[in-house]
Homo-oligomer: A and B are copies of this chain.
C-alpha cells in the first residue's frame, strides 16, 4: 500500500516494456539488449535488474504486451463497423494501410521481427498463437459470407498470406510499392481481389 515516487520521474516496468517493443520493431529480438536499452532510457542496468529478473523476463513481458495490444487493436478495428458484409473489407483495408501511420514502432515492424525469429524459444509460442487466432478470425469472417468451412479457410490463408507479404515488402523494400494515391488504389485492388466470393 505504499506509492512512493523517488525524486521525480522514476521508471516503471512498463517503460522498459515500451522501450523493448521499440527496439524489437527497429532491430529485432537481438536489439532487446539490457545495456543499450538502459542507455536509451537514460539510466543504467541497475534500474533494469530491479524491475526484471533477466533479459528473458523483459522479452516475455514485451511479447505478452504486444499480443494483447495487437488483438485489442484488431478487435477495435472490426467493431467500428458491424455490417457483416463490409467488415471483412474494412479489416483488410485497415491492416493493409496500417504501414503508413506513424513510422517506426508501428504495426508491422514488431510483427516482422517476431516472424524473423520464429524459432526463438519465447517468440515461437506467442507467434503461432497470434497467427492461429487471426486465421481463425479471418475464417469466421469468410464463413459469414456464405463460404463453406474449407473454402473459407483457404481464403483466409490467402488473405493472411497477402497481408504478411505486403507488410514484408513495405518494410524491407518500401521503394518498390506504389506511393500516394497509387498505393491506395493498389490496396483497393488487393482487398477486392481477396474478398471476391465467386
Interface residues, chain A, CB within 8 Å of chain B?
A: 28, 30, 112-113, 115-118, 127-128, 131-132, 135, 154, 157-158, 160-166, 168-169, 171-173, 175-178, 186, 189-190, 193
Say how far A142's CB is from chain B's closest CB, in angstroms: 13
In the complex, what residues of B have CB within 8 A of residue A112's CB? 115-116
Q: Which residues of B sit under 8 angstroms from A190, Cβ to Cβ?
A: 158, 161
Q: Which of B118, B157, B173, B193 is within 8 Å of A158, CB to CB?
A: B193
> In the complex where A30-B30, A154-B189, A186-B154 touch, is A118 in contact with B172 (Cβ < 8 A)?
yes
Q: Which residues of B contact A175 (CB under 8 A)?
A: 128
Q: B residues within 8 A CB of A189?
A: 154, 158
Instruction: Contact check, A166 vs B161: say whether CB atoms are below 8 A apart.
Output: yes
Instruction: Please determine whether B28 and A176 come into contact, CB atoms closer than 8 angstroms.
Output: no
Contact B154 A164 (CB under 8 A): no
Contact of A168 among B132, B168, B173, B177 (CB under 8 A): B168
Contacts A154-B189, A157-B186, A193-B158 given; does A131 touch B173 at CB 8 Å: yes
Top 7 closest pairs, chain A to chain B, by CB: A165-B165, A116-B116, A164-B165, A118-B172, A161-B165, A164-B168, A115-B172
A-B contact pairs, 19 of them (CB 8 A): A112-B115, A113-B116, A115-B168, A116-B117, A128-B173, A131-B172, A131-B173, A132-B176, A154-B186, A157-B177, A157-B178, A158-B189, A158-B190, A160-B165, A160-B169, A162-B165, A164-B169, A165-B165, A165-B166
Contacts of A118 in B (CB 8 A): 171-173
Assess whether B115 is in contact with A176, with CB atoms less than 8 Å apart.
no
Contact call A176/B131, Cβ cutoff below 8 A: yes
Expressed in whole angstroms, the minimum distance between the Cβ of A2 and any Cβ of chain B is 43
Q: A122 → chain B, closest Cβ, in Å?
A: 14
